[in-house]
Amino acid sequence: MTIEEVIKSTVKMDNAKKVILNIMYTQNVIQDHFNELIKPYDLSGEQYNVLRILRGQKGNPANMCVIQERMLAKTSNTTRLVDKLLLKEFVTRNVCPDNRRKIEVLITQKGLDVLKELDPKVDEHERVFAQNISPEELELLNNLLEKYRTQQN
C-alpha cells in the first residue's frame, strides 16, 4: 500500500513530502504492532524501553539522567515512568550515596524475568518486518535513514 493510498490523497505529492509521511506512518505501524505485543504484560512502550536500558547496565544502577539520554523519544518525565515500574516491582530506586542529588535505578529479577519472556516475541516482531525486504535492502534502508536525518550544514 503506497502512502497516497493510506491517506486517501487525491492530489499528487512530491517525494520529499512522501518520505516524511512514509516515515511517520511506518513508525505508527511498527508501534501499533509492538503495543499489541506488550499489551498482555501491562507495560507501555516507554516502560519497556526503560527496562531494556536498565538491563543493558549489567547489574550497575542507572541514574535518571542516564535513562533520559538513552531514550529514543526524549520523554521529559523519567520520574513518573520509573514510578510505574516501581509499583510493578520491576525496578528499585535509591538515592546515590556518593551524590545525594542522584537516584540509582536498578532492574529487579522480576523485571529481568519479564524481559526474558518478551525477548523471543520482540525478536519475532523485528523479523516480521525485516522479512519483507532483502538483507541488502535492509542495510540500504538503514544507511538512507541515517543519511536522511543528518543535517549537513
Partner DNA sequence: GTTATACATTTGTATATACAAATTATACAC
Partner DNA sequence: GTGTATAATTTGTATATACAAATGTATAAC
Q: Which residues bind DNA (CB under 7 A)?
A: 35, 39, 44-47, 63-66, 68, 73-82, 84, 93, 99-103
Query: CB-wise, 117 or 139, nearer to its own copies?
Result: 139
Please give the Cα distance from 70 to 58 (Å, whole number). Answer: 15
> According to CB under 8 A, which one of 7, 65, 95, 96 is a site residue for its own copies?
7
Compute how many other C-beta atoms are within 10 angstroms of the C-beta atom of residue 60: 10
DSSP string, the chain: --HHHHTT--S---HHHHHHHHHHHHHHHHHHHHHHHHGGGT--HHHHHHHHHHHHTTT--B-HHHHHHH-SS--S-HHHHHHHHHHTTSEEEEE-SS-TT-EEEEE-HHHHHHHHHHHHHHHHHHHHHHTTS-HHHHHHHHHHHHHHT----
Residue 30 binds which entry of DNA, its own copies, none, CB below 5-8 Å type-dependent:
its own copies
Query: CB-wise, 59 or 97, nearer to its own copies?
Result: 59
Query: CB-wise, 3 or 114, nearer to its own copies?
Result: 3
Task: Kindly indicate which of the ranges 7-15, 35-43, 79-87, 95-103 contains the residues binding its own copies, using the contact rule CB under 8 A.
Answer: 7-15
Contact between 1 and its own copies per CB under 8 A = yes
CB of 92 to DNA, least distance (A): 12
CB of 61 to DNA, least distance (A): 10
Cell numbers standing for residue 59:
547489574
Which residues in this chain contact its own copies in the complex, by CB under 8 A? 1-3, 6-11, 15-31, 56, 69-70, 72-73, 126-133, 135, 137-142, 144-152
